[in-house]
Structure 1
Amino acid sequence: MVTINRVADLEELISSAALKFIDVVAQAQALNGGVHGDGIARVVLTGGGAGIGLLKELRRLDDAANNQGEDFPALRIDWDRIHIFFGDERNVPVSDPDSNEGQAREALLNHVGIPTRHIHGYDLGAISMSSAAQAYEEELREFAPQGFDLHLLGMGGEGHINSLFPHTEAVREQEDIVVAVHDSPKPPAERLTLTLPAIARSKRVWLLVAGEEKAEAAAHVVAGADAEDWPAAGARGLEETVLFLADNAAGALND
C-alpha cells in the first residue's frame, strides 16, 4: 500500500521529506536500531531536482544544528553512523556534472562529517560496466546484507525510477540487485542501477514527485499498475512506501 504525503509544492516537499529523513535516520541510529540492529543507518540516495534539493536542505539543517540556530531540528544525524549508497549512476567520472554521486557530494556529503569509507559509489571508469555491477553488488552484500533503512527515489514522467525504464530488461530483472544498462532512453545511455529486487530490500521507500508532467505516472503508482509499464509502481518498501506528492503532480488524484 502506498501512503500519500500531499504537499503544496516542491519547496514543501523538500522541507517535509528532509525533516522526516532526519527522524528516520535518528531512529536507525538508536541503540540496536536500524535494519541490521547495529545502530547504523543505511540510506540510498537519488538524484533529480527533488533528490538533490533534499540533500541541500539536509546540509542547511545540519549547519543550523551545528550553530544551534532557530532552525535547529529536534533530532540530528550522526554522520559517523550512516552508510550512503546510490540508486543508480551514469557511466561518467564523479567529477562529471552528470554524476549522481558528484552532485550528492557537492550538495551535502562534502560538507558534513561522514567518513569517506561510508560513501559507496559505483567507481565507474576503471573497469567494465558488467564488472562494476558485480563489484557493487558485492559491496552491497558486505555493507548492507540485510538491506536498507531508507531508499529515496525520484520519478520521471514515464514512471522510471533509478535507471529502470518501462519495457526494458532492467525493470524486468528478478534476481540481480545491480545491473548494467547500455541503452537508456534518457542520455547518457550507459548506467548502472539498483533493481526492483534491491529496492524491495528497503524498510522504507520514499518517492519524491513534483511536476505536472508526472501526474499520470503518480496515478499509476497509487493504482498499483504493472511495473513493466510504470516502473515506479513496482517500488515497495518492506514496512512503508510513501509518495511525497506536490499538488501539481496530483492530476487525476484530485478528481
Structure 2
Amino acid sequence: MTDERFVVVHPDAGLLARATAARLLTRILDVQSVRSPVHVVLTGGTVGTRTLAALAQDPVAAAVDWDGVHLWWGDERFLADGDPDRNETQAREAMIDALPVPAPNVHPMAARSEGVPTPEDSATAYAAELAENAGDERAGVPAFDVLLLGMGPDAHVASLFPGHEALEAAGTTVVGVHGSPKPPPERVSLTFEAIAAAREVWVVAAGAEKADAVASALGGAPVTEAPASGARGSSRTLWLLDAAAAGGL
C-alpha cells in the first residue's frame, strides 16, 4: 500500500464526472494493452453515477474490449433486486445497459431475498465470488485495477462509517453492515483489507458539503473519525475533486 496520495481538482461536479470517466477509460485501455482481464470496482452516489453515465456516452468507450472487463461494487444497499436505491440498479441504468459487457462479467452483490435474508449472507456470497476470481492473489480478491469510491460528508467510503464496527472487520473481504447512519440501515461493503488489494484507489468527491471531510481525511485524521483516510491503493491513490470539495485544502 502506498502512502502517497495525489489530488486532482476540477472546476465543477459536471467536469469532474466527465474527466473521471475519461480517465477510467484511458486506464482500462492502458491495462488491456498489457494484460486481461481488467477488474474495476464501481461506486454509487450522485457523482459516481454521473461518472458512469459520462463513461457510457464517451466515444472512447467503443475502443474498449468489454469482453475483457469485469465490474464489481465497493458496497451495496441491502434491498430487493431492482430497487431504484441499489447501486447496481443505478449503474445498470447509467452505464452497463448501454455497453456490451457480458452478463457473467458483471458481479453485483446479492440482493435481499428469501434465499439471502441478511447482509451477512450477501457478504459471504460476495466474498466467495471474489475469491473465485482472485487467481493467485493472496488477498482473496482480484487485484482490482481501479477501485472507485465516493465519499460522504462524514468522510465515509463504501459503507464504512466513522465509529462503526465494520471499520474493524478483519480476516474477511466483505462485511455486512447494520445500523448505518445513512439509510437504508442494512448494507454490504468491501472491507479495508479488500480495498487495500486494489492497484489503484480513486476517491471521487464533489460539493462544498464534502470540504471538511476531504480536509480531514487528507490531513491525517484517524480512520475511526475519517474512514476515507484509510482508502489507499497498493500502487496509486488518487483524490479526484471539484473545486468546492477541495475548498478546505
Same fold (TM over 0.5): yes
Q: Name the amino acid aligned to 1:246.
A: D
Q: Name the amino acid aligned to 1:139.
A: E
Structure 2 distance, partners of 1:148, 1:169, is 25
Matched, 1:11 2:14: yes
1:159 is aligned, of 150, 155, 158, to 155
Q: Name the amino acid aligned to 1:26.
A: L
Q: Name the amino acid aligned to 2:65.
A: D
Per-residue deviation at 1:87? 0.7
Gaps of 5+ in 1: 34-38, 67-75
2:122 alignment counterpart: 132
Is the 1:133–1:179 Cα contact (8 Å) retained in structure 2? yes
Per-residue deviation at 1:174? 2.8
Runs ≥4 residues deviating over 4 A = none
Distance 1:187 1:233, change over 3 A: same
2:88 alignment counterpart: 101
Matched, 1:57 2:75: no
2:180 alignment counterpart: 184
Query: Could you list the per-position Cα deviations for residues 162-218 of structure 1 after superposition, in whole angstroms to 9, with x for gaps in the alignment?
Result: 110000111122321100011111011111100111110000000111111111110
SS in 2 for 1:250: helix
Structure 1 distance, partners of 2:86, 2:92, is 10
1:239 is aligned, of 211, 229, 235, to 235
Structure 1 distance, partners of 2:216, 2:46, is 21
Is the 1:224–1:234 Cα contact (8 Å) retained in structure 2? no
Per-residue deviation at 1:65? 5.8
Structure 2 distance, partners of 1:176, 1:52, is 27
Structure 2 distance, partners of 1:196, 1:95, is 27
Counting aligned pairs with the same residue, the percent is 40
TM-score (norm 2): 0.91
SS in 2 for 1:153: strand
Structure 2 distance, partners of 1:94, 1:205, is 27
TM-score (norm 1): 0.89
Number of aligned residue pairs: 237
1:24 is aligned, of 24, 27, 50, to 27
Q: Name the amino acid aligned to 2:125.
A: A
Is the 1:14–1:50 Cα contact (8 Å) retained in structure 2? yes
Matched, 1:210 2:206: yes
